[in-house]
Amino acid sequence: MHEVVITGIGVISPIGNSPDEVRDSLLQSRSGVGSFESDEISRAFPVARVPADFSASFTRLERPFLDRTTQMALLAARQATEDCGIVNFSTLGDRAGIFYGTVRGGGTTEWEGLRHFYAGRKTAKPYVIMGCMANAAASFISIKHQILGVTACHTTACASSGSAIADACRYLRAGDLDIALAGGAEAPLASQFLSAWDGLRALAEVDADDPARSCKPFSSARSGLVLGEGSVFFVLETREHAQARAARVLGVLEGWAVASDAHHIGAPHQRGQVAAMRSALRTAGVEPAALDYLNAHATATRGGDPVEVAALREVLGDAAAQVPVSSTKALHGHMLGAASAMELLVCLLAIRDGFIPPTAWLDAVDPDCGGLLHVPELLGGRRVRRALSLSAGFGGVNAALVVRAADPAH
């Protein structure tokens, strides 16, 4: 069995477009959430937007094929490959792979095609299919970086990038690959998609005093989730491959698991979350008390947060009083297919820079969310050696990842 290490990171997010920018936002509780209004929808929604147009990063010939989701995925993947020191993977042949997670793929391109159809255009533009398919970003990354091995795409709702990262780890641990690019991307901030989510009665209200404070996980004042966009990728390698090329190791992925609730298409059940976390801890070979931080899925919905808290209490047991738990979605929103990857990055930054990020705006913990060591304020100067991230998606799919410091003595 091979140890899986992290050697590159790339991020495009509402709270920063580099790991250091994300770190600074976490340290300062700087929110990426704002208000979204459109004549196409009935009310304003809080969203976490990446405040940039990336079109200029691509050529005129490339742009028609690249949905915003794919643009952000390509930029995050390039950042990760540059960070690890390998931009072109062709010499590795089929020993390199890409593992990608997304919920809706190129949804903006699809909506554009539908608008043209109902406006009277009976034949779509030639790029629509290739722009909106779920595997578009993975394929474009494979082409750009000459990744010739496995290309795997995961669409397991909010656990998508976690499932992708876990899949990559399995290939690496078994020795079927030497190196992999793994992560996810999402760009859901379109009126049509917000309207669909509003139909679930799951979206938060815009905070009347400060839109940036609209997402309040675990809080008695929470009103729902806040959708976010962005992309996060990691370069993962076997320890042997990283050592052979003298690569810098940023962290070790010790444990991973995916488990299902088998309960309901839209309502979570704690058994799947419990199973995912326990399996990830078993793979890592550690007990819950060995965790120094746990990044919760906690989307700030009335129904979801208490179920997750019950699962966390069950898994942590006596360690529930000593393992700090927070949800950083309060700052970067719910990035759907990219959520797991974003929150794994948060765990890595907590380990690297020695802090526990807070659940921002947690002024009063809901009694139904009690029994955990919540973190309403930043905890700085902390030794964080090992962290767990949990993601829970519609359909009852749950992904858990355990990451530890590159240096065991950290």
**Residues noted as catalytic:** 158, 297, 334
Q: Which amino acid is at 145?
A: H
Taken as a whole, the chain contains a residue count of 410
Name every residue whose Cβ is closer than 8 Å to that of residue 246 and which is 6 or more positions away in sequence.
none
- HSE of 235, CA atoms in CB hemisphere, 13 A: 31
CB atoms within 10 A of CB 303: 11
Closest to 168 measured CA to CA, from 35, 328, 340? 340
Cα separation, 12 vs 230, in Å, equals 5
22 conformational bin, left if phi > 0, alpha if psi -120 to 50, beta if neither: alpha
Tokens of 349: 């930054």
Task: Tell me the CA end-to-end span of the chain in Å, nearest whole number.
Answer: 24
Strand-strand pairing, 379-380 and 251-260: unpaired
Q: Residue 174 burial by CB count (10 A; 0-12/13-18/19+): exposed, middle or buried?
A: exposed
Cα separation, 371 vs 315, in Å, equals 12
Closest to 241 measured CA to CA, from 179, 292, 192? 179
What residues are paired with 4 via a beta bridge?
Answer: 238, 253
Closest to 299 measured CA to CA, from 352, 348, 342? 342
Cα separation, 259 vs 274, in Å, equals 9
Tokens of 50: 């990446």
Q: Which amino acid is at 74?
A: L
